[in-house]
Amino acid sequence: MNQLSKALLALTIIISFTSCNNEIENLKIEPDQSSMLVFETTEDFNQAVTESVEIPVAELEDWVKAKGINSFGVEALKRYNSINFEELSSEEELMSIIEENKDYLVLEEIENEFYLETKYHNQANRFVINQDRLVQIGDKVHKIFKNGELKGSLEEIESLKSVSEEQFDQLIKEENETFNGLEIVPIERKVTTSVKRGGYWGTLQERRSTDGRDRTLSRAEIKSRRNDGNVYYTYHFLVRPYKKVMWVWYHCTRTITGEASYMAYAPGQFNVGSVLHQRAYNRRTEYDQKWERNDPKTVYDASDKSSYFYAVAVYGDTPSTPPATFDLR
């Protein structure tokens, strides 16, 4: 082979290699449905959860794609937001849509009124779990349910997937601690009160402000669970605007002003004494479907999960209604 032929061959190889590299760089890889996020520690998991709830709804899909998962919470939102509520022609059409999306949407009755919600809408972790509601923390895989979670090894993923919401609720009702080798981690029950009892305001407070077909919800809740000898608390705050079509309230986008603060006492390490948890979120205005904040706390080497609001305040305002607010001290 003469020198010219060798040079042309080398050039061809370089061009081909460069072309392949460009194709690889331009290839858009979509996350697989079974992919799940992996966190080394609970603290890493909590940080991602807290970050996710503050991201504007319009930016959430890009955020979870960058993480490499198909998020359950984001998929539920996509299906929810694809509904044109103002153009629904009949109750039958609405019920048909709900049935078609029953794995992601739920109709809830509260005080004789109906709300269409995404499933797990009050779970701060809904955006970091995959389509099977799985997430890995350390060497364990957790499956998230409304009333708690199941925990198992990587080898037990198929067993985790096979457990339904109804099965899990029955296991909780029977006060089981394990199921087929999987650990059951229930969430502490909700305690609501309109009067201060024993110096505390329970674990859940909500207020609604309504003007015609518009409504604003302000909400504060404590969720607690015991795992690996520690107690994990989630202090969760939400302001959400709603609009009514026919007989159903649905999420809408508004300019939302939200503010929250709380003080709570949790049993201390080895259940000795108390630990003060507190935080204040300054007033902030956002244009979105929700104003949401999440404050995770941990008490190590504890077994008592009881934590109640000693003081709690949430201010939620939208242009469509008077403020939905409470300030309990």
pLDDT at 189: 76
Q: What is the pLDDT of residues 255-275, one digit of tens each?
A: 999 999 999 999 999 888 899
Beta bridge partners, 327, equal 313
DSSP string, 153-176: -GGGHHHHHH--HHHHHHHHHTT-
**Residue percentage of the chain with pLDDT more than 70:** 90
pLDDT for res 23: 32
- Residue 42 is predicted with a pLDDT of 93
Please tell me the least confidently modeled range out of 76-80, 191-195, 307-311, 313-317. Answer: 191-195
| pLDDT band for position 305 (cuts 50, 70, 90) | confident
pLDDT at residue 134 in the model: 98
pLDDT value of position 190: 79
- Nearest-CA neighbor of 184 among 221, 159, 218, 203? 159
pLDDT at 8 over 70: no
Give me the mean pLDDT over the 284-296 stretch.
98
pLDDT at 188: 84
Helix (H, G, I), strand (E, B) or coil at 5: helix
What dihedral angle (degrees, nearest 10) is formed by the CA atoms of 129, 236, 245, 119?
Answer: 20
Query: Which whole-number Å values give the CA distances from 163 to 75, 157, 180, 215, in the listed order?
Result: 21, 10, 10, 36
What would the two tokens of residue 87 be?
A: 């153009």
Six-digit token string for 35: 């992919």
pLDDT in tens, 211-239: 999 999 999 999 999 888 899 999 999 99
Which pLDDT value is given to residue 271? 83
281: which strand partners?
260
State the chain's mean pLDDT as an integer.
89
Residue 122: pLDDT over 70: yes
Is residue 9 predicted with pLDDT exceeding 50? no
CB 263 within 8 A of CB 310: yes
Give counts: helices (H), strands (E), the chain: 7, 17
Minimal CA–CA distance to 236: which of 205, 269, 257? 205
- pLDDT tens for residues 15-45? 343 333 333 233 233 444 569 999 999 999 9
CA distance 190 to 171: 18
